[in-house]
Chain A
Amino acid sequence: MIAFLDDAQTHRNLAELSPGEHCRVVGISEGGGIRHRLLEMGLTRGAAVQMIRVAPLGDPIELQVRGYRLSVRKAEAATVMVEMTTHRHSISS
């Protein structure tokens, strides 16, 4: 139970990040075709992701992942569970 609460504190979804924040992918909650596309675009477990910016009208968002820039809608980003990291952490592991 404590572990769960702990999880709840560190785990967020990708749509909740602010520009500039770093995180690491924990998993994708939703199944189906979109999950596989997101995985194929490199959002696999453990992948380091940086939130870059939000589009002028508030959606979609721009991410840095595996050395390139990927844009997804917040609805899709919300299915990607992440844990927050500072950038240093993502490098040391």
Chain B
Amino acid sequence: MIESPVHTVQIAVAGNPNSGKTTLFNALTGLRMKVANYPGVTVEKREGVLSGTQITLLDLPGVYSLSARSPDEEIARDVLQGRLPGTRRPDAILLVLDASNLDRNLYLATQIIEFGTPVVVACNMIDVAAQRGLRVDCEALSTRLGVPVVPTIASTGQGLSELKALLIALPMQATATRSWRLPAAFEAAVDAVAARLRECGLVPTHAAPAGALLWLMDYLSGDAASRRSAERFLARLSRDRADGMRREAEALSQAIPDAASVAIEARYEWISSIASAVVRGHEGSDDAVDARSRAGTLTDRVDAVLTHRVFGPVVFAAVMFVLFLSIFAWAEPLMGLIEAGQTALAGVVSAHMNEGPLRSLLTDGIIAGVGTVLIFFPQICILFFCLALLEDTGYMARAAFIMDRLMSGVGLHGKSFIPLLSSYACAIPGILATRTIEDRRDRFTTILIAPLMSCSARLPVYIVVIAAVFGERTLLKAGVMFSMYALGTLTAMGLALLFKKTLFAGPRPAFILELPPYHLPKLGGLLRTTWDRAKLFLTNAGTIIFAVCVVIWALSYFPRTSEADFSPEATAQLASMADADVGDRENLIASERLRLSYLGRTGRLIEPVLEPLGFDWRIGVGVLSSFLAREVFVGTMGITFAVGEADEQSVALRERLADATWPDGRRLMTPLTGIGLMVFYVLACQCVSTLAVVKKETGSWRWPAMMFAYMSVMAYVAALAVHQIGGRMGWGV
């Protein structure tokens, strides 16, 4: 652990999801904040400075409990215990409670208070509680919990100055007590484990009893992830101590079967007694709940429509349509602008430099590389904004509620729907959106199938190929286009089932989801979340994408050849051209140079492998360069087919493709070859950016490697099957 030279006070901000924790954090820190990921996981680490002080605030992930079942929970718990490498044990904790839902919030709160780190409680959203007829007596709560409690409304700033004063003046000594009792055998086990924890020195003395209880519950919970976490802790101890702790846990499970449940219920019993004493209008004290449910809160009235059997799915479809449109269409002008800017900049550089490797590196390597990173930026910003909006309003949970039935049909979670839908625009924001899925197996399955959704970069490929082989038959063209989207989607669903049965086999993860009250989000908070996440994309994945772009540039640029190296055919063709055909000459030279580059040589080298698919080396080079990004396919085809610069509207390219032949005069682009080529593009993972993002999101190269391998093999086999079976049958030749 690296200690900064000046010991600044660090306060961790903890609380349940939907407790207004992040709003409070933003209000306390102002704009000075940095966002990163915790090492190895994609849990966001947000740090800021308490405005006007030297105190740093660390926003912990929102969790319901300190059991270590999800990465979020494990991070929160490791930070609080000072066990996370690179993050100092906080000097104090700001605990945010949702006053309208005190029972469940107190579960986490009491777990944290028992660790003995100084705590200040913000009893937040007292306005929401008041609307529901609940009044929290904060003084009484403070007495019961033994820590200061401040009533706050983070969204309006009420109570924040008092809270800030308390955080600054916080007494830095700790008193750890647990005010409720467990059965005697359980208490004895906690004491015994606590004694061993004190000996090992990994846990501060006063936190040992709370640490012991958490460890015992994880060890005995019957949940695989918790058990693994408990074992990981033991791995840091000497063998004797670890065995000793295991023996204590086993003895406890003999004496009290399902001890973890006993502990949870005992804690809740105590919490209920606190809540009914300090909350007026509490379920246990009078019938406010009854009155409330009859009158119906605003959320209830909204949900009566938004989760209605008929209107619910209709509204959901409309919301998803707007979301999809915003990524797919509204980003388009901005992407055009970035492309135009890239072209203009490259033009300026070309005009001011002599031709040579340096100019080419600048224009086709560096500027193009930056462009490839930035081109995703508008889509990503828009998607992150939409996601933050859905999340902050509370609709995201309803989306999962509505879609879960459909997604569970292929073994996925309701939360997998939005990432997959986003992937039709671009897999990158889609994969980034899987962060809301807690279960690792569900999340990784969703990530692995996301690139099969036909993204916007495949569209130009479909357009060019369909136009080249199907001419003017509009209905047929539309049908073929639709089939490509359907093929990707159905393959993804089939693979989701397969992955959940093989790679990610195990008990079906539970769907346990809070449906928070609807809430009007603040634009400032939304923009901030959007920017923080988009920035992470630029710094994390952007660097990898950029590097690969430069490498591919080098492969297509070197070795430099002169006209003396050209093939006899090309030389003859050049000689036959009139000097006036400058454009045609240049196109032919560019095409010949690409053929002789490392990339072109590879294309020709693998031609025997591609020929059974019906592709010649020219298509091969297009396919190869597309592994960088599918966007370059059309441009590359423009060069290999010697028509110069081309886009998907290019008539010249379309005609050249339609007329192209094999050396023996057979037609190259038969409808069958076209279908095979498109099937290849549907199924292949031709996007370095996606792979870079998968690496960042999964924390290992193993998953992008596996994704690349399975998709490439599948694409090859499918395209081969199309060409060979179709060819034998005499279809579309």
Contacts from A to B (Cβ < 8 Å): 28, 31-42, 44-45, 47-48, 50, 53, 55-60, 62, 64, 66-73, 75-76, 87-88, 90-91
> Which positions 295-317 of chain B face chain A at CB distance < 8 Å?
299, 303, 307-310, 312-313
Chain A residue contacts of B404, Cβ below 8 A: 55, 57, 59-60, 73
Distance of B465 from chain A, by nearest CB (Å):
37
Q: Please, could you name 20 A-B residue pairs with CB atoms under 8 Å apart, sorted by A?
A: A31-B258, A33-B221, A33-B225, A39-B264, A41-B514, A55-B405, A56-B312, A57-B402, A62-B515, A64-B293, A69-B299, A69-B515, A69-B517, A70-B515, A71-B511, A73-B510, A76-B510, A91-B284, A91-B286, A91-B290
Chain A residue contacts of B65, Cβ below 8 A: 40
Q: Given the known inter-chain contacts A59-B404, A76-B512, please indicate yes or no for A68 contacting B222, CB distance below 8 A.
A: no
Distance of B294 from chain A, by nearest CB (Å):
10
Q: Given the known inter-chain contacts A53-B307, A57-B406, A62-B307, please indicate yes or no for A36 contacting B260, CB distance below 8 A.
A: yes
Chain B residue contacts of A69, Cβ below 8 A: 299, 514-517
Chain A residue contacts of B307, Cβ below 8 A: 53, 55-56, 62
Chain A residue contacts of B103, Cβ below 8 A: 42, 66-67
Residue contact B511 to A91, C-beta cutoff 8 Å:
no
Give the complex CA separation of A72 and B104 in angstroms.
16
Chain B residue contacts of A35, Cβ below 8 A: 222, 258, 261
Interface centre among A68, A70, A88 (most CB of B within 10 A): A68
Residue contact A67 to B397, C-beta cutoff 8 Å:
no
Q: Given the known inter-chain contacts A36-B221, A36-B222, A76-B511, please indicate yes or no for A62 contacting B289, CB distance below 8 A.
A: no
Does B287 belong to the interface (CB within 8 Å)? yes
Does B100 belong to the interface (CB within 8 Å)? yes
Chain B residue contacts of A72, Cβ below 8 A: 510-513
Chain A residue contacts of B223, Cβ below 8 A: 32-33, 36-37
> Chain B residue with minimal CB distance to A65?
B104
Chain B residue contacts of A41, Cβ below 8 A: 64, 104, 512, 514
Give the complex CA separation of A35 and B264 in angstroms.
11
Give the complex CA separation of A47 and B513 in angstroms.
18
Residue contact B64 to A40, C-beta cutoff 8 Å:
yes
Residue contact B405 to A58, C-beta cutoff 8 Å:
yes
Does B226 belong to the interface (CB within 8 Å)? yes
The total of interchain contacts (Cβ-Cβ below 8 angstroms) comes to 151
Give the complex CA separation of A45 and B264 in angstroms.
10
Identify the 8 closest CB pairs spanning chains A and B, nearest first.
A33-B223, A57-B405, A32-B222, A69-B515, A66-B103, A39-B264, A56-B312, A68-B101
Residue contact A44 to B408, C-beta cutoff 8 Å:
no
Q: Given the known inter-chain contacts A38-B512, A69-B515, please indicate yes or no for A56 contacting B402, CB distance below 8 A.
A: yes
Residue contact B222 to A67, C-beta cutoff 8 Å:
no
Contacts from B to A (Cβ < 8 Å): 64-65, 67, 69, 100-104, 107, 132, 134, 217, 221-226, 258, 260-261, 264-265, 268-269, 282-284, 286-287, 289-290, 293, 299, 303, 307-310, 312-313, 397, 400-402, 404-406, 408, 414, 507-508, 510-517
Residue contact A73 to B100, C-beta cutoff 8 Å:
no
> Chain B residue with minimal CB distance to A47?
B268
Residue contact B264 to A36, C-beta cutoff 8 Å:
yes
> Chain B residue with minimal CB distance to A64?
B293
Give the complex CA separation of A88 and B290 in angstroms.
9
Distance of A46 from chain B, by nearest CB (Å):
8
Residue contact A44 to B264, C-beta cutoff 8 Å:
yes
Residue contact A59 to B512, C-beta cutoff 8 Å:
no
Given A40-B264, A42-B104, 13 additional A-B pairs, CB 8 A = A39-B261, A39-B265, A39-B268, A41-B512, A41-B514, A56-B307, A57-B405, A60-B405, A68-B104, A69-B515, A70-B513, A71-B397, A73-B408
> Chain B residue with minimal CB distance to A61?
B401
Chain A residue contacts of B289, Cβ below 8 A: 64, 67, 87
Our pick among B107, B269, B510 for the contact of A34 (Cβ within 8 Å) is B510
Residue contact A66 to B224, C-beta cutoff 8 Å:
no
Chain B residue contacts of A75, Cβ below 8 A: 508
Give the complex CA separation of A73 and B303 in angstroms.
18
Give the complex CA separation of A91 and B510 in angstroms.
30
Q: Given the known inter-chain contacts A62-B515, A87-B290, please indicate yes or no for A40 contacting B401, CB distance below 8 A.
A: no
Distance of B422 from chain A, by nearest CB (Å):
21
Give the complex CA separation of A91 and B260 in angstroms.
28
Distance of B624 from chain A, by nearest CB (Å):
44
Residue contact A44 to B513, C-beta cutoff 8 Å:
no
Give the complex CA separation of A35 and B257 in angstroms.
14
> Chain A residue with minimal CB distance to B400?
A71
Give the complex CA separation of A73 and B608 in angstroms.
53
Chain B residue contacts of A47, Cβ below 8 A: 268
Residue contact B64 to A59, C-beta cutoff 8 Å:
no
Give the complex CA separation of A59 and B397 in angstroms.
14
Residue contact B67 to A40, C-beta cutoff 8 Å:
yes
Q: Given the known inter-chain contacts A33-B223, A33-B224, please indicate yes or no for A56 contacting B313, CB distance below 8 A.
A: yes
Give the complex CA separation of A45 and B134 in angstroms.
24
Chain A residue contacts of B264, Cβ below 8 A: 36, 39-40, 44
Q: Given the known inter-chain contacts A33-B69, A33-B221, A35-B261, please indicate yes or no for A60 contacting B514, CB distance below 8 A.
A: no
Give the complex CA separation of A31 and B107 in angstroms.
21
Q: Given the known inter-chain contacts A34-B510, A73-B511, please indicate yes or no for A60 contacting B104, CB distance below 8 A.
A: no
Chain A residue contacts of B414, Cβ below 8 A: 60
> Chain B residue with minimal CB distance to A91?
B287
Residue contact A68 to B102, C-beta cutoff 8 Å:
no
Distance of B295 from chain A, by nearest CB (Å):
14
Distance of B440 from chain A, by nearest CB (Å):
13
> Chain A residue with minimal CB distance to B102?
A67
Chain A residue contacts of B510, Cβ below 8 A: 33-34, 37, 72-73, 76
Chain B residue contacts of A64, Cβ below 8 A: 289, 293
Give the complex CA separation of A80 and B313 in angstroms.
28
Chain B residue contacts of A59, Cβ below 8 A: 404-405, 408
Distance of B715 from chain A, by nearest CB (Å):
33
Interface centre among A41, A56, A62, A72 (most CB of B within 10 A): A56
Chain A residue contacts of B102, Cβ below 8 A: 67
> Chain A residue with minimal CB distance to B511?
A73
Give the complex CA separation of A53 and B307 in angstroms.
9
Residue contact B406 to A66, C-beta cutoff 8 Å:
no
Chain B residue contacts of A44, Cβ below 8 A: 264-265, 268-269
> Chain B residue with minimal CB distance to A48?
B283
Q: Given the known inter-chain contacts A35-B261, A36-B223, please indicate yes or no for A55 contacting B402, CB distance below 8 A.
A: yes
Chain A residue contacts of B222, Cβ below 8 A: 31-33, 35-36
Chain B residue contacts of A33, Cβ below 8 A: 69, 221-226, 510
Interface centre among B307, B397, B508 (most CB of A within 10 A): B307
Chain B residue contacts of A55, Cβ below 8 A: 307, 312, 401-402, 404-405
Chain B residue contacts of A66, Cβ below 8 A: 101, 103-104, 283
Give the complex CA separation of A27 and B260 in angstroms.
14
Distance of A81 from chain B, by nearest CB (Å):
14
Chain A residue contacts of B406, Cβ below 8 A: 57
Residue contact A62 to B401, C-beta cutoff 8 Å:
yes
Chain B residue contacts of A73, Cβ below 8 A: 404, 408, 510-511
Give the complex CA separation of A64 and B100 in angstroms.
13
